[in-house]
Structure 1
């Protein structure tokens, strides 16, 4: 069993009951099971976990060096702050941990409230000096709470939906430009909004078995919490780095970093096809993780590694500067992307509603009607476009059909 060892499972069944069932089956009862009797192999006293040894006494559970588990911290402490969907934990040495706690660790306004509280108590001369985003669920986060979105859309609560989108944008932007390091430590699924929070972190320390992706198009949306913007910036930075290596850093007007369509095409393909990384290493190849981000092979060491990195970043930490020089292709780039989608529609590789969703995505990634290569945009300009297109799609019945189908079947609807 990957989640529990044999003695933990016996404890759940009851050691005494387990022994009696073995006897009924005519099987020998292991001596250790006889020794524990009506007790348990593990117990917690005064916040410390102990195990039943072969000598018939209990011994403290000692973790190996480099192993730090949130479940151990929970045994001996209470959350610093808690909402219905998130909690903040003191993990020692001035590090604060943000844990998602909802079903599939879905994200909602309760998570944003916890982020807001983390911002109040973390930073220079405050209680904490760094933030780690981490949990021990099977999924880091499956993204936004779709059930809540469907309910709100069905009764036309458009202001509430727009506030959820705007609230997520504010929360993630606050994390990105916070005066303290933010390290995200995902494991398992990190989809949609769960992937977007990674993109806004100073550093990602990912478990090797991390499957992240911006999958919103599958439910009729585009990324609305800054995912479009961050993927554009990632691809632009990667292209500029490759260009500088090729040109020796010379400022050549015809160099790859001075052409807008490369990063735009990459972001459009990644988001438009809802590309999900098959591992943390694959996430680096796709661009969700940067070359500087880390990978932890043993999940039990993930929180330790993330905390260590967060604390290393504290001394001399300088938050990133908001970009006001983002150059995008504008309408001509949008038309080029739309032509590519139209060709996919003709060959049956894109459904009718795929075309509509991709047109919305193309408008955001190209910078809108007023953008062109000579007119720089701000980060806020792009997330404003995200919010506009997200709300247009939210009002369409095809999007509601996709959400409902996903909730009912767990699979995307190709309408």
Structure 2
């Protein structure tokens, strides 16, 4: 029997390796990995299986296939089979992969292509969804057809927010299983040195920020870490970001008397954490900030989360929960290089309240928890007043309302 896995990012493949090593897929059978390169122009970007780091993961799989090559010249983030084509293409795909008996399909998402396309082609088998990041704590963005939701048997995740259960797919009764951090694979990084690491994002590609705003955000991080006294700074572009990301930063670093270093393409952030042991890791809301702190014990800080919380649109954008977690739990890097600790927070209460406001129809059971949180703490920066008014939720904490009443 064959288990078919899908991954589009190296971190996702590392998560799969951890799950396999932890015994999450039972006795060894044939394992086939389908990889996708979702870069804007995949022809000029390394696929995860082409990176040197993938060599440490390769032996978990019997065969590796490129989805880009299978559907070429179409882009994996845009193509999906038409309903009338699904039976034929499904048979062709199984034949191409040499699959005669399919035990399980393991995908990183059932919401967006390319992973969203695979369950329709691999019919009549159980589906495991694995989450390689903080997105596991976001509510499911779209309503799933019964043909898919009824086949999802579990959600595998790394437990990056201890004590907080993931919300993804929970409305379908899908149980969450934690992969122990001890199984997370160790990958060597090429020899490199840096006092601080800046993790780039790809917010302009997602339409959240303009390209200029994203450049300014990264420039602000660079200025702040240099103001903090770091003169050797590693900039790690996001795997899906455009190649030109970071060009302006190199010139800025030189003007400020520092040196900006770029790791070899395809080097995972986690390999850098292990090899470099930096004094600070900075980003906006990257999952790698959490892995730096939780799995490697490194200082991590955020910058720009307040802007993102304002810009994310619509409110139910799945990035809202990861941004909220980063903003609420990590120190904030100030322009002068200082670190400001975030106020204490009831993190489970905050996540549940934001999640309810994002998807109230999917999680009606969270309404009481959301109301209680807002009455105790108020909306602060994580909620939109119009959204609260629409849902008939408190826009002021009880203490504030009492003081307003007394002042009349």
Question: In which range does the TM-score fall when normalised by the shorter chain?
Answer: under 0.3
Task: Select the structure of larger CA radius of gyration.
Answer: 1
Which is bigger in relative contact order (C-alpha 8 A, separation at least 6)? 1
Q: Please give the TM-score of this superposition, normalised by the length of structure 2.
A: 0.24
Q: Please give the TM-score of this superposition, normalised by the length of structure 1.
A: 0.24
Structure with greater proportional helix content: 1
